[in-house]
Structure 1
Amino acid sequence: MAKTEIKKTLNLTFPRLEPYRTVGDFLKSKDELHSVQLPAFQWDKPRQDPDLYLTEARRTYASIVEALERRREFYKEERKSLDQQWDNLLQLEKDLRENFVKLSSFIKSNEDKRARAIERCKEDHKLCEERDNDIKKIKENIVLLQQIKEEMDKEIRLHILYEKYLNFVVGDSMDFRNAIDVIDRFESLITTKQELGLRQQSYFDHLENAKNQTSRMADENTFRILGLNTIVAGLRSRYKNASSNSMKWERIVWSIKKNALQKYKEITEVKLACRNAYLLMCRRKSETPKISESDFESQLNYIKKTLQELKTVQGEATAINKKTFSSMKGEVSKGSRKK
């Protein structure tokens, strides 16, 4: 209801006239309002009662509260409308920014297109100039070819006798069908001749290279053979010296082997003698042989020890014999004296 009242108060209708035309009516209505005298009633007179002031204050407060509520409702609606307008402004700003971006990209693309168009125009202009130059060159070539054609026609007129001769040859020969076959045969023969000449030249080159290589190899092998002959002569002399040395050393080896065989026989005999002596000593001493047959050192030590014992026994026996002989000699001397 407050919204409708506010809208009614806001949506006033009045004639759309210029202010200077309505000033007279306004002043006239104001004079008429002051000239009207309202009747004075008793209850309309103000009283000097505190309740009157309280009631007036309450009425003022109530009207103010009601006006405040209406204003708050009004401002809530206005806030919604302002928020909506703000959103619309933001959307418009966004659209405007996007439009600016699109416009900027469009301007850039237009600039690129313009630059490409200018470059293409330059290329087209350059291409046109090149085509004009090509056309000029082609025209010059056409003129040159026409001159060449005229010269060729002259040459053909000069060589028509040869054509007639070729046609005459073709007519008399069964191998050719027309003059072109004769020319092809001639060209093929010329080509074959050139190929054979090149092949012969290559063969000559190969033969020359082979001859040079053979002579070079012969020279190299001659020096190599001379060197090998020298080496063979040295080796033969070394072989003779080695043969003589080998005969000498073979004789020495043979004599060494002979002496070694003699020594081996002597050693074998000594070993047998040593063994026999050991066995004999053991038999004489009535002992069982404990030393193995291959342990010659122990056998020799045993023989040495036995000989030392025999030497000791012989010394003692000699001393006893001397004492006995001296005692017997003294007794013989005493008996002779007694006689």
Structure 2
Amino acid sequence: MSATPRDLPLEKTVEEFLVSKMEERLRRAHKKPEWDVARVSPSCKVVLARRELDAADCRLAEKRKEQRKQRALLDKQWEDLAEKEKALRDSFTRFHSFLTENELKRERASKKLQEELSLQEHRDLDIAAMKSLPIGRQETIKKLDRIKENMDQHVTDYKIYEDFLKKVVTVSKFNSIHEVLNRYETLVATRDELAARQKRDLTALESERSEMAHLSQ
């Protein structure tokens, strides 16, 4: 517990009083009057104003530089969107042309194949009928030879369509021509689905392009 002034000796109390008065006098002696405080001259104010103006110009230049970067980035994104849109349109056009061309080939090949099968069936019936007729063997052989020649010619004429379907089977790893025809139906359905998807993608691209145009203004 600290001692009170009443508990201290008289000499100690007087000493502390004198020290406190001396410290107060020193503080007053070091305090400057208002007329002695340094004031900012007009020329200094001009220098400070110029410094602030230069700093503001620097900040403005940085902002403009950043704005140019942002504009360049927006322009690049705009170009990328345009390229993607063009690639999407070109891809759909090529796919549509591919399906259209193969549809025509498939129809021609299917028609010729059916004609050939029907012709072979009729020839088989003719041969069976001739074999049952009571005519000379030599005459029958001649007629059969003519029929065979006609059939061979038809086979040669229509072989290109058969080869086309077989090639499709080989390249596409199908097991039969019927699988090719079934696959065609699937491709048509896929084309319709891709057309709908392309429409949605183009709509999304147009929306994004409009948004970027609004941002770049």
Query: Normalising by structure 2, what TM-score?
Result: 0.35
Higher-Rg member (1/2): 1
User: Which has the higher relative contact order, 1 or 2, with Cα contacts under 8 A spaced 6 or more apart?
Assistant: 2
